[in-house]
Amino acid sequence: MEKGRALVSRSGIFFTVVILSILIGSPGVLGVGAPVKETPQPRADIIRLDSLKVFGKLERPSVTFLHQKHTEALEKKNKNCSACHLSEKDPLLDTERMSSKYMRLKETTKQEVMDVYHLNCIGCHKETKAAKEKSGPVECGNCHYDNKSVVSIWKSIGMDKSLHYLHSKAQDDKCEKCHHAYNEVTKKLYYAKGKEGTCRYCHREQTEDKVISFRLAAHIACIDCHRKILAKNESAGPYNCDGCHDPVQQKLIKTIKDVPRMKMNQPNVVFIKTTNPEALPPKRLTRMKRVPFNHEAHEAYNSTCRVCHHAAMNNCVQCHTLAGEEKGNYVTLEQSMHRLNAEQSCFGCHDLNQNNQSCAGCHASFAKSRQNNPTTCVACHMAPLLQNPDEKQTAEEQQLAATLLNARLLINDTYADEDVPETVEIKTLQNKYEPVKLPHRKIIYTLVKNIRNNKLANYFHTEKGTICQGCHHHSPAAKKPPACESCHGKPFNESDPFKPGLTAAYHRQCMECHREMGIEKPASTKCTECHRERG
């Protein structure tokens, strides 16, 4: 009897264990056996090994290669980049340069490239494993798979004027150590003093003919230079992926606030060229007055010359002619200066500045239609045309340009208190709500205060009433602009779908302005936050 009880007891335990095992082991049941979803590891050194794409469609997924992880492992064995990268003679220089390819100098055949990776990578992993050290995979499926355990945080880094100054100072202003040009006759690189430009002007996104891509040029030149300096036990920049491309590490790079002006024989103040001496009439002449341009001030506003000089360090008109030519992608000079969707254009750059929170209340969203009316042209086009424009502007012309800019009237204020009502009562919805008392003067003065030190706003706000046009957007600047209901009727006008009714106009104006300027109140869309409900 006791044995039977024991058997039943043991059987019960056995079945209980089996049932629990099934439940626990079944994905989705109780959630215990479901695979744990790992949080992807952020890295800046992820490289996709997909070189075989040049031979056709890949047969297996590309390999996720963690570059810095490998370089750190090599450093522990007193090895460097030469363990994986061969050196070759630079075709344009009498020096050796490190190839960016792995264990080869060029692509040969598909099988040979595969063998380079398989023999060397797997061979290294096997040797490391035989030495009883932590090693990498040696089987195909452990390399060729969609690796979701890592996620790229790689961020591009550019040579802004602060970083350029640090390099220039470290090299004692010897620009020839980095800058070079190509001589079509001798087929060699040389230093063109006074014609230095960004590397990106020649080294494009992809390798073209014998000109390697910008990415390869930067890695070969920068890493090689930093490694050689560090070998002398001297201070140098980073040579690993994180040092340049990790967003956190980028913030640690020293930044010079007041960077001395570059010495490029650039002008201080000039007239923007609107004529190209190489072109024949009528392509040479323009009907618009000339624009004085403060080149020195714009240098200070921007972090790099490429903001404007995006293709070469030339005058805009050399590529963007009045009629438009192939070398300027048929973008005319007028378009290059006025396009809103191009950061390099005057309008495009100024338009981006209007996204600043202190400006966005008037200039964001539908309010764009309020600006750029024909009267604003004269804010830039100030000087009379020349009958016989020359290639080079004279000192007198440059002095005239500076005089015109210095004489312009900057508006950083508005009308006096007595001309700005302290409050304005809005009675549109008073049948359901109490009238709203708008703190009119407070709003105006706050807007003025926010842009008082904004030179761009001060220059283009040509009248004291310009700030009023942020709300009174289709009327001329005046001390007593027309009321909103003079344009917006109480009922919606079906014949003019682009003009909202009075209620919609008020709500859109106020609420969009608050949102764009980051004003916390009203905190929700409840009507009673602004309107007191009638009892």
Cα 213 from Cα 182, distance rounded (Å): 15
pLDDT band at 387 (very low <50, low <70, confident <90, very high): low
pTM for the predicted model, two decimal places: 0.79
- pLDDT number for residue 481: 92
Q: State yes or no: pLDDT of 16 exceeds 50.
A: no
pLDDT band at 14 (very low <50, low <70, confident <90, very high): very low
pLDDT band at 404 (very low <50, low <70, confident <90, very high): very high
DSSP annotation of 188: E
Q: Do the domain assignments include residue 14? A: no
pLDDT band at 281 (very low <50, low <70, confident <90, very high): low
Q: Do the domain assignments include residue 5? A: no
**Is there a single domain that holds both residue 440 and residue 374?**
no
Cα 322 from Cα 372, distance rounded (Å): 21
Hey, CA dihedral for 24, 29, 30, 33, is it positive or negative?
positive
**Is there a single domain that holds both residue 274 and residue 402?**
yes
Q: Do the domain assignments include residue 183? A: yes
Mean of pLDDT over the chain: 85
**Is there a single domain that holds both residue 494 and residue 446?**
yes
**Is there a single domain that holds both residue 425 and residue 396?**
no
Q: Do the domain assignments include residue 17? A: no
Q: Do the domain assignments include residue 34? A: no
- pLDDT number for residue 28: 37
In the listed set 373, 407, 441, which residue is the last one of a domain according to the structure? 407
pLDDT band at 207 (very low <50, low <70, confident <90, very high): confident
pLDDT, tens digit (0-9, with 9 covering 90-100), for 330-382: 999 999 999 988 989 999 999 899 889 999 988 876 545 444 555 678 889 98
Residue pair 393/271 in contact (Cβ under 8 Å)? The answer is yes
pLDDT, tens digit (0-9, with 9 covering 90-100), for 448-489: 999 999 999 999 998 899 999 889 988 888 999 998 988 898
Long-range CB contact pairs, 303-310, < 8 A, 24+:
303/160, 303/161, 303/162, 304/158, 304/159, 304/160, 304/161, 304/164, 304/198, 305/198, 305/262, 306/198, 306/200, 307/343, 307/344, 307/349, 308/344, 309/197, 310/344
**Is there a single domain that holds both residue 385 and residue 274?**
yes
Q: Do the domain assignments include residue 114? A: yes
Q: State yes or no: pLDDT of 107 exceeds 60.
A: yes
DSSP H or E run through 226? helix 224-231
Q: State yes or no: pLDDT of 266 exceeds 80.
A: yes
**Is there a single domain that holds both residue 399 and residue 421?**
no
Q: State yes or no: pLDDT of 132 exceeds 60.
A: yes
Residues 235-256, mean pLDDT to the nearest whole number? 93
Residues 311-328, mean pLDDT to the nearest whole number? 89
Measure Cα distances from 363 to 151, 353, 508 in Å: 38, 10, 14
**Is there a single domain that holds both residue 143 and residue 232?**
no
pLDDT band at 34 (very low <50, low <70, confident <90, very high): very low
Q: Do the domain assignments include residue 77? A: yes
Residues 138-167, mean pLDDT to the nearest whole number? 93
**Is there a single domain that holds both residue 279 and residue 395?**
yes
Question: First-to-last CA distance in the chain?
Answer: 86
pLDDT band at 277 (very low <50, low <70, confident <90, very high): low
- pLDDT number for residue 86: 92
Cα 48 from Cα 43, distance rounded (Å): 13
- Higher-pLDDT residue of 442 and 476 is 442
**Is there a single domain that holds both residue 144 and residue 167?**
no
In the listed set 347, 382, 407, which residue is the last one of a domain according to the structure? 407
pLDDT band at 288 (very low <50, low <70, confident <90, very high): confident
Cα 220 from Cα 100, distance rounded (Å): 7
List the CATH number of the domain containing 522.
3.90.10.10
**Is there a single domain that holds both residue 102 and residue 222?**
no
- pLDDT number for residue 375: 62
In the listed set 191, 219, 250, which residue is the last one of a domain according to the structure? 250
Long-range CB contact pairs, 385-392, < 8 A, 24+:
385/285, 385/286, 385/289, 385/290, 386/290, 389/274, 389/275, 389/277, 389/284, 390/277, 391/277
Q: Please give the residue range of the domain that contains residue 291.
A: 269-407
pLDDT band at 278 (very low <50, low <70, confident <90, very high): low
- pLDDT number for residue 340: 87
Q: Do the domain assignments include residue 184? A: yes
Residues 207-235, mean pLDDT to the nearest whole number? 89
pLDDT, tens digit (0-9, with 9 covering 90-100), for 219-230: 988 988 998 899
- Higher-pLDDT residue of 491 and 246 is 246
Residues 2-17, mean pLDDT to the nearest whole number? 44
**Is there a single domain that holds both residue 470 and residue 432?**
yes
**Is there a single domain that holds both residue 387 and residue 445?**
no
**Number of separate domains in the chain:** 4
Q: State yes or no: pLDDT of 10 exceeds 50.
A: no
